[in-house]
């Protein structure tokens, strides 16, 4: 029960306000309905997993102190991994993501993803807790405290190691125009305003300061609803006039042959030198918003379908990997792009659901580690912010102030490319699952020690 309440308090405190706000806008429910949805969502996708984490961790007590510390770190990592993978996956606010802006952890993230600093953080906290619990046995308490100290040393050494230098051989810097139209959520999906929205983004893309751009990037849902032939023709004209490729987000439908259509959330790319459109369909959809969970009965005919293929767009020798909105939070989506040969990650997003709240900043924060993990720069173009360019070392190389319509010309430099985590994948969470199960088995074979209060009687 304590784990359940902790998970609920943690999730509602960090995300409850903007989840309720987004629910009111998306589902058109009142305040009470939005609060109920926020409570239900955080309970299912966060609190349930922290309750199981607490339950499993409580069974580790019979183990020796040092083994208990290691087992606790593995248990925390295993259940964070479960939360990121099960019930549709919700890798939002995992422990390791707290290190997204701590450069001393970046070498660790490159080695093991955010799982590695998260594991070490859990070990640090677990070591201090065990030292407190074992305060009657000074030798055990000191050993546990030494483990906490060792974690600090690991972070210090990580800061000294740093990240590999970028390899710019063969790739010239790429000038990219980022368009942030500043369209609020209610305006964005108003069918009567579709033409004016397109006019606005075409006008912004022709600003004189963007004349040298080789790529123009619009956000997710830049052309709301469907990207029809007329809209495509106008964007093609822009690309030829500016002598620049265009990358944007919009819906796509595909005839099923029975009078109905498959729906996709897609990224469209047009290079005037090639003269044809290429399309990437979002592969990792946002549960509840873009599709209903498969374990619910029935199906919504308006559900999006996931794409089946990773697509890279080629421009001036650069291989560009689109990530649509929530995909940027999933390490696996960027990892597959890096393995396919991507040189640049581009996250198209519609963050206007968040308005100016914490959700927008959290989305950027939880996407940031993709740069260090894969050794690649990451560009974000969003409807209202945060639109930024992050270098391969996660440093901020360019940004647009959130809110109103803004444009920026960013210069993208290549990174060093994939590192051990990008190549090896989720080795640490899977290892943690195995060690957790082994520790639980070992603990079950041991007799639970008597309490110190009983020993003193």
pLDDT in tens, 41-81: 888 888 899 999 999 999 998 999 999 999 999 999 999 99
Instruction: Tell which CATH classification among 3.60.110.10, 3.90.1150.10, 3.40.190.10, 3.30.70.20 matches the domain 174-415.
Output: 3.60.110.10
Inter-CA distances, 7 with 49, 51, 118, 126, 229, Å = 8, 7, 17, 17, 48
Judge if the upstream peptide bond of residue 386 is cis by omega within 30 degrees of 0: yes
For residue 389, pLDDT over 90 is answered with yes
Q: What SS3 class is residue 387?
A: strand
pLDDT at res. 188: 66
Q: What is the mean pLDDT of residues 20-36?
A: 76
Name the β-bridge partners of 178: 217, 408
Residue 148: band (very low, low, confident or very high) from pLDDT cuts 50, 70, 90? very high
For residue 453, pLDDT over 70 is answered with no
For residue 366, pLDDT over 70 is answered with yes
CA-nearest of 57, 51, 15, 55 to 35 is 15
Who has greater pLDDT, 139 or 102? Answer: 102
Query: Is 242 within 8 Å of 205 (Cβ atoms)?
Result: yes
Residue 86: how many other CB atoms lie within 10 Å: 13
Residue 397 host element (H or E): strand 396-400
pLDDT in tens, 169-178: 679 999 999 9
pLDDT in tens, 194-250: 678 899 999 999 999 999 999 999 999 898 778 889 999 999 999 999 999 999 999
pLDDT at res. 1: 79
Residue 299: band (very low, low, confident or very high) from pLDDT cuts 50, 70, 90? low
pLDDT at res. 301: 54
pLDDT at res. 79: 95
pLDDT at res. 186: 63
pTM, rounded to two decimals: 0.91
Q: What is the mean pLDDT of residues 16-34?
A: 76
For residue 292, pLDDT over 90 is answered with no
What is the end-to-end Cα distance of the chain in Å, rounded? 30
pLDDT at res. 283: 94
Label residue 81 exposed, middle or buried (CB < 10 Å: 0-12, 13-18, 19+). buried
Between 10-14, 24-28, 409-413, the lowest mean confidence (pLDDT) is in: 24-28
Question: Following CA atoms 431, 434, 436, 440 in sequence, which dihedral angle do they give, to the nearest 10 degrees?
Answer: -160
pLDDT at res. 278: 97
DSSP state of 403: S
Query: Is 86 within 8 Å of 130 (Cβ atoms)?
Result: no
Name the β-bridge partners of 250: 223, 266
Q: Decide the pairing of beta strands 313-315 and 261-270.
A: unpaired
Between 77-86, 260-269, 321-330, the lowest mean confidence (pLDDT) is in: 260-269
Which of 7-16, 27-36, 131-140, 432-441 has the largest mean confidence? Answer: 432-441
Q: What SS3 class is residue 437?
A: helix
Which of 27-41, 277-291, 414-428, 438-452 has the largest mean confidence? Answer: 414-428
Q: What is the mean pLDDT of residues 106-132?
A: 95
Q: Give, to the nearest 10 degrees, the angle between helix 115-133 and helix 427-445.
A: 30
Beta strands in 19-62 (DSSP E): none
Tokens for 442, please give them.
């070992």
pLDDT in tens, 307-363: 989 999 999 999 999 999 999 999 999 999 999 999 999 999 998 777 667 888 999
**Helix/strand number for the chain, H first, E second:** 17, 13
Residue 452: band (very low, low, confident or very high) from pLDDT cuts 50, 70, 90? very low
Q: What is the mean pLDDT of residues 24-31?
A: 73
Who has greater pLDDT, 290 or 243? Answer: 243
Give me the chain's average pLDDT, please.
88
CA distance 1 to 272: 60
Q: What is the mean pLDDT of residues 405-424?
A: 95
Residue 451: band (very low, low, confident or very high) from pLDDT cuts 50, 70, 90? very low
């Amino acid at each position: 029960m304590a784990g359940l309440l902790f998970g609920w308090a943690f999730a509602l405190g960090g995300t409850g306000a903007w989840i309720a706000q987004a629910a009111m806008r998306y589902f058109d429910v009142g305040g009470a309905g939005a609060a109920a949805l926020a409570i239900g969502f955080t309970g299912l996708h966060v609190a349930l997993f922290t309750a199981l984490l607490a339950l499993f961790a409580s069974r580790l007590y019979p183990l020796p102190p040092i083994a208990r510390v290691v087992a606790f770190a593995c248990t925390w990592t295993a259940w964070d991994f479960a939360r990121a993978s099960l019930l549709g996956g919700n890798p939002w606010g995992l422990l390791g993501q707290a290190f997204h802006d701590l450069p001393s952890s970046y070498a660790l993230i490159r080695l093991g993803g955010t799982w590695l600093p998260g594991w070490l953080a859990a070990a640090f906290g677990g070591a201090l807790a065990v030292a407190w619990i074992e305060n009657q046995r000074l030798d055990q308490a000191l050993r546990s405290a030494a483990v906490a100290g060792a974690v600090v040393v690991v972070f210090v050494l990580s800061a000294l190691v740093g990240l590999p230098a970028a390899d710019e051989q063969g790739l010239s810097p790429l000038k990219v125009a980022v368009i942030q139209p500043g369209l609020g959520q209610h305006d964005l999906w108003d069918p009567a305003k579709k033409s004016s929205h397109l006019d606005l983004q075409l006008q912004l893309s022709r600003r004189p300061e963007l004349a040298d751009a080789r790529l123009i990037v619009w956000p997710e849902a830049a052309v709301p609803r469907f990207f029809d032939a007329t809209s495509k023709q106008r964007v093609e004209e822009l690309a030829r006039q500016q002598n620049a490729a265009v990358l944007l987000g919009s819906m796509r439908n595909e005839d099923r042959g029975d009078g109905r259509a498959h729906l996709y959330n897609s990224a469209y790319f047009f290079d005037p030198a090639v003269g044809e459109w290429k399309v990437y369909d979002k592969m990792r959809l946002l549960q509840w918003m873009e599709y209903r969970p498969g374990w619910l009965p029935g199906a919504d005919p308006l559900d999006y379908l996931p794409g089946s293929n990773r697509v890279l767009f080629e421009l001036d020798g650069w291989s560009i990997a689109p990530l649509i909105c929530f995909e940027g939070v999933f390490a696996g989506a960027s990892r597959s792009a890096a393995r396919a040969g991507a040189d640049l990650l581009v996250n198209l997003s519609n963050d206007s659901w968040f308005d100016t709240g914490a959700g927008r900043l959290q989305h950027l924060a939880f996407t940031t580690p993709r740069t260090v993990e894969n050794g690649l720069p990451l560009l974000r173009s969003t409807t209202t912010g945060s639109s930024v360019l992050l270098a391969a070392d996660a440093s901020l190389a360019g940004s647009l102030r959130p809110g109103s319509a803004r444009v920026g010309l960013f210069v993208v430099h290549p990174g060093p490319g994939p590192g051990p985590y990008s190549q090896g994948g989720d080795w640490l969470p899977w290892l943690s699952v195995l060690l957790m199960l082994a520790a639980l088995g070992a603990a079950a074979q041991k007799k639970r020690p008597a309490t110190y209060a009983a020993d003193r009687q």
